[in-house]
Amino acid sequence: MGAGHGHGHAASHASGRAADRSGLRLVLAITAVVLVVELVGAYLASSLALLADAGHVATDAAGVLLALGASYVASRPGGPRSTFGYHRAEILAAMANAVVLLVVCVYIAWAGFARLRHPGDVEVEAGLLIAFACVGLLANAASLRVLRRSGSQSLNMRGAMLEVAADLVGSVLAITAGVVIAVSGWVQADAVASLLIAALILPRAWSLLKESAAVLLEIAPAGLDLGAVEAHIAGMPGVVEVHDLHAWTITSGIPSLSAHVTVTDAALAEAGVGGILDRLCDCVAQHFGVQHATFQVEPLSHRDHEDLGDLHA
């Protein structure tokens, strides 16, 4: 005897993804322009900071393209084998973005330290560095505004926003390095700026990687206390026992829960299976914000006949 709620929730996610895609397409166009501008600027100015920012912008372009593709895939309906649909495509895209960001961090850090140790005869054109970094700053600010306006809580969209935000900060650091070089002639400010860009990207990339891994490993959603959920359900009238309680996240914003609930035969006779299922689903929705819940209701007289398996040995 079981029930699951959440069809309306899925519909709201579909409309949210459509809005996400509109923003992502615009950001992809802006990012592609910034990439070309910064690559040209890095070559003309001999700037590692600008090259580092351009490298990060290149990963952003790929990341936004990946996020856009994942959003389309996630909107596909489920099939006979993909019974949950393709929601997890967004989480895979978020994880891929995080991994790429971490790789970029390693490269920028390596190149920055190499230039600090052996600056050689590098001459950084401060004026060009500042001019091209300003173009990147304005474009990244526009992209970030577009993504924030969507108000999406999707990990996929958050990954895209983190990358654009890191690009914006990278542009600010590149401008700062250009100003320092113009005023003092200290060309190593360019390498220092590149290292700071890597340091700013790292914690955001690591956080995104952990969150996406938690979803894929089906770890209980952050902030959902399963002990409290079990105690709350167990305290409901007629409930004797709660077991096989599991919670996971299908994709960003869709926490899910399932449990076996043993109830007295008298409670079943009084409210019926449907009434008890309604109470259980209302309980977790109102008190814990879980809209997608499935319960197996078991009469107390059935408990001695249930095979709980090795997990309960």
Q: Mind listing the pLDDT tens digit for each residue in 182-196? A: 998 888 888 888 888
- What average pLDDT does this structure show over 210-217? 86
Residue 63: Cβ within 10 Å count: 26
**179-195 burial, b if ≥16 CB within 10 A, otherwise e?**
ebbeeeeebbbbbbbbb
In this prediction, residue 263 carries a pLDDT of 94
- What average pLDDT does this structure show over 100-128? 80
pLDDT band at 111 (very low <50, low <70, confident <90, very high): confident
pLDDT band at 100 (very low <50, low <70, confident <90, very high): confident
Domain ranges within the chain, ordered by starting residue: 13-216, 226-312
Average per-residue pLDDT in the chain?
79
In this prediction, residue 29 carries a pLDDT of 85
Architecture label for domain 226-312: 2-Layer Sandwich (3.30)
Name which CATH class applies to 13-216: mainly alpha
Is the distance from CB of 263 to CB of 279 less than 8 angstroms?
no
Q: Which long-range contacts (CB under 8 A, 24 or more apart) does 109-114 make?
A: 109/195, 109/198, 111/48, 111/52, 111/191, 111/194, 112/48, 112/52, 112/191, 112/192, 112/194, 112/195, 112/198, 113/191, 113/195
Residue 59 pLDDT more than 80? no
Q: Write down the pTM of the prediction.
A: 0.68
